[in-house]
Amino acid sequence: YRYRYWAKRELRKRPKREVQKQLASWVKKLDPDEHRFRHHQIEALWTYRGIGAADPDLLLELLACDLHHARAAATRQLRYQGCGLTKGERDNQLLRSANDANALVRLEAVTASTYIATPQAFQAVLAIIKQPREAHLDYAIRTALGAESLLPFWSESSHPSVEEFMASFNLNSKTKAGSSTLNAREAAFDSQKKLAEIKISCISGRLLFSRNRFEVEAGQAVKLVFTNPDATPHNLLILQQGTPVESVGLAANEMAKSPEGAKNDFIPEDQRILYSTKMLAPHSSETLRFLAPKKPGTYPYLCTFPGHWVLMKGEMIVK
């Protein structure tokens, strides 16, 4: 990746016409039977983009090829006005990608629609709504529909498919965390008079907890409901007083080097971890029940999905 980046950066410094001519010659000589043929073509597309040029024929070829990763990468190019296609061609290709059999291609089409922002782009989103979807695609659709560029196409008129999608998305997002008690022990815990009920969520798309601080009394019973409405997994670990967040976070990063890390929810074996949730999938929740430490002070908490801990952290204050 680094060498490709350096090469593209150098090419941007060269005369545009010279680079364009040499690039076209290189693309023409590519071997279709070489296993990285489509990869090389995609690199050429991005190089054209980097020098402010385009090859519409190459783009159309990739949009129709049999490799879904290449179709997805080509669909991303549609968001740019300088992709080399006419307005009508771009709208048609966007709709084609919106009806692609592969969800990754449809995901790129959703994102591109917010850049194109035409009635045809909105129709592409409607086409994607009608097809099978998983959480990541639902999240992308919801974000696109809420974008300033597409909002006018449906907010001021009736669109049953959009209304049905929004209702379903909102229903799935409202996880009923903590609304039922699983067993008698938990029921007894929840019935305590001085129970501290804490709710923490994630701010979608921002790698932040909804709260970076909460207070409890020493030895108090605590019911902490952690909800993940985001499109990526998150967990919540509460650490012993005085534990540097980065020491646990970096250990979690190291776990990403092994397949076992994900199986263990990226939770390091560390005695300084007092309480922890599992790694929550998108639109799920977990309830922690525990007695607050008897020693007053500041107890840090964090998400240990690799890299998240840099931003996703907070403090439990025990008084």
pLDDT score of 121: 95
pTM: 0.57
Q: 284-291 and 297-302: which strand pairing?
A: unpaired
For the domain made up of 2-173, the CATH class stated in words is mainly alpha
163: Cβ contacts below 8 Å, ≥ 6 apart = none
Q: What is the pLDDT along the chain (319 residues), one digit of tens a residue?
A: 678 788 888 988 899 899 999 999 999 999 999 999 999 999 999 999 999 999 999 999 999 999 999 999 999 999 998 889 999 999 999 999 999 999 999 999 999 999 999 999 999 999 999 998 888 898 889 888 888 888 888 877 778 888 888 877 766 655 544 445 456 778 788 888 889 999 999 988 789 999 999 999 999 999 999 999 888 899 999 999 999 999 999 999 999 988 888 899 999 999 999 999 999 988 889 999 999 999 999 999 999 999 999 999 999 999 9
N-to-C CA span, the chain: 50
Distance CA 255, CA 243 (A): 19
Question: In 10 A of CB 261, how many CB atoms?
Answer: 18
Distance CA 93, CA 313 (A): 43
Where are the chain's structural domains?
A: 2-173, 184-318
Q: If you write DSSP's letter for every residue of 133-190 in order, what string do you get?
A: --HHHHHHHHHHHHSTTTTHHHHTS--HHHHHHHHHHHHHHS--TTSS--SHHHHHHH
Measured in residues, the chain has a length of 319
Residue range 184-318 in CATH 2.60.40.420: yes
Rounded to whole angstroms, what are the CA distances from 224 to 173, 201, 272, 275, 287? 19, 10, 19, 11, 6
pLDDT score of 177: 47
Q: If you write DSSP's letter for every residue of 12-54 in order, what string do you get?
A: HHS-HHHHHHHHHHHHHT--TTSTTHHHHHHHHHHHHHHTT--
